[in-house]
Amino acid sequence: MLRLRIYRVLLGTLGIASSVFGLALVMAFFAYQRPGSEPRIPTGPVGHYFVAFTGCALIGWAGGLIGAARDPFASRTVATTTAFVFALMAGVRMVAWGVGDYASWLGDLPRTEAILLLGLSIALVWLRPTVSECERASMTSRPHGSQSGSEAS
């Protein structure tokens, strides 16, 4: 199935990207802690603390995305939740773009990011396996000799 292959590649790519970006954020925190260092991210010590926290969360989320890419029938909710979060992130970027305070610094970048995030959100929802596909996959993956509680009675 081409749709499932594209879905798995998308989840795997997002998982690897989240992991790399999360590691970069954690490394930025530790780089900032060196004496006399110049911050790469324009925040103070408290901002770098939250940057590191976000990096750790991204690394954790990457594990879920990579796991869903390995077994997409067992983890539909990972893609659904990721799609919801991408839509939420797009909304935040549109508010930031509309407010105007960020326009002098970011220009049209928030709008471009919002378009990309909404596109990814739609792709995750359209490409994910259906409930019936997941049920069929769980039936075929059950060992032949096993019985559920109702069948054993």
The string of pLDDT tens digits covering residues 37-87 is: 887 777 888 888 899 999 999 999 999 999 999 988 888 889 999 999 999
- When divided into structural domains, the chain yields a total of 2
pLDDT band at 123 (very low <50, low <70, confident <90, very high): very high
Say if residue 97 is in the same domain as residue 62. no
pLDDT of 135 over the 60 cut: yes
Residue 55 lies in a domain: yes
Say if residue 38 is in the same domain as residue 89. no
In terms of residue numbers, what domain contains 18?
Answer: 1-72
Say if residue 110 is in the same domain as residue 57. no
**What percentage of the chain carries pLDDT values higher than 70?**
92
Cα 143-148-152 angle, rounded to 5 deg: 110
- Spatial distance between the Cα atoms of 10 and 13, rounded to a whole number of angstroms: 5
Q: Write the CA distances from 1 to 4, 37, 54, 136, integer angstroms.
A: 5, 51, 35, 15
Residue 150 lies in a domain: no
Say if residue 56 is in the same domain as residue 116. no
Say if residue 66 is in the same domain as residue 85. no
Amino acid identity at 144? H
